[in-house]
Amino acid sequence: MRPAGEGRLRIVAGEAGELPGIPPASVHLIVTSPPYPMVALWDEMFAAAGAHDYASMHALLTNAWRAARSALVPGGLLVVNIGDALRSVDGEFRLWPNHSAVVDSCESLGFRSLPYVLWKKPTNKPNAFLGSGFLPPNAYVTLDCEFLLIFRNGKLRAFPPHDRAREASRFAKAERDRWFSQVWTDIRGARQATGDRRSAAFPPAIPERLIRMFSCVGETVLDPFAGTGTTLWEAVRLGRNAIGVENDPRRLEHLRAVAERAGYPDF
Ligand SMILES: C[S@@+](CC[C@H](N)C(=O)[O-])C[C@H]1O[C@@H](n2cnc3c(N)ncnc32)[C@H](O)[C@@H]1O
């Protein structure tokens, strides 16, 4: 039996750049992690969509940010989890600053950037440095954080005084102090137990925190790159309605199987 107060769930087969069947201005919060440009794990997927270089990969992602803007209510928030990439191209080793490309795209689409969060990825190899040894100046900093880029769709949302759903979503002072700081070093639990090491799932603590920070009970949370559904399961557990969009049939099958086992009602 599902606990009282859980939200409803909708799983949509389709493209993040199209968001089929999701009406304009119907989503309060988007928490998502897209495929990362210039990270080898995603090369095949970008290539299948006709994107072979950094610019065209980000052009594809920009379609998703455009659709996200239209799905959000005025004042709704988009949170994009993304990491930069390190990769040699034509013999030159470079940092590919995915976070700045996403900021540029979203700003040009009319989103407004809010202060972002850097979260430190848990590692079981704390002494492993990717840099090149102990002699200056040719070592480089280990890439061990990811960005949570936060964008608002227009002006602040307005609420009537003492709005009940908002009051019911209040967080404690200790939570506020920890969550609204710019560097998160306490994210544990790494990956979901999907048995698939290539799932690129983020730790459930990421969407859990963001959903409590940026949405109210009863509102709608969307993940247009749903993957294993980490955002969806957290949203439903926290009393929000969740919509997941995914274009990979294997992932969709997994999402539907989990949803069916849990008995989440559709909406
Ligand atoms: C980084 S993973 C998301 C992981 C997710 N946050 C989780 O915790 O499981 C990106 C997902 O986006 C899906 N995807 C890639 N391109 C897509 C597109 N154009 N439309 C919808 N889904 C897409 C991939 O199949 C993959 O499951």
**Averaged pLDDT for residues 52-57:** 98
- C-alpha of residue 136 to centroid of ligand 1, in Å: 39
Measured distance CA(150)–CA(7) in Å, rounded: 24
- C-alpha of residue 221 to centroid of ligand 1, in Å: 16
Residue 242 has pLDDT above 70, yes or no: yes
Residue 193 has pLDDT above 50, yes or no: no
Percentage of the chain exceeding pLDDT 90? 82
- C-alpha of residue 170 to centroid of ligand 1, in Å: 30
220: β partners: 241
Q: How many CB atoms lie within 10 A of CB 110?
A: 11
Structure tokens at 155: 């002006």
Q: What is the pLDDT of residue 191?
A: 53
Burial class (CB in 10 A: 0-12, 13-18, 19+), 189: exposed
Rg of the chain over CA atoms, in angstroms?
19
* Cα–Cα separations (whole angstroms), residue 211 to 32, 167, 208: 11, 15, 5
Measured distance CA(181)–CA(116) in Å, rounded: 9
At which residue do the structure tokens 């955002």 appear?
A: 231
> Which residues line ligand 1 at a C-beta cut-off of 6 Å?
15-17, 33-35, 45, 199-202, 225, 227-228, 230, 245-248, 251
Nearest to residue 85, comparing CAs of 42, 117, 133?
42
> Per residue in 164-192, pLDDT tens?
999 999 999 999 999 999 999 999 875 54
CB 207 within 8 Å of CB 16? no
Alpha carbon nearest to ligand 1 atom 8, residue: 201
Nearest to residue 71, comparing CAs of 12, 10, 19, 24?
24
Alpha carbon nearest to ligand 1 atom 25, residue: 248
> Per residue in 136-175, pLDDT tens?
888 888 899 999 999 999 999 999 999 999 999 999 999 9
Stated pTM of the model: 0.95
Residue 63 alpha carbon, nearest atom of ligand 1: 19
Sign of CA dihedral 82, 85, 145, 42: positive
Domains annotated for the chain, with CATH where assigned, are: 9-262 (3.40.50.150)
Q: What is the pLDDT of residue 197?
A: 58
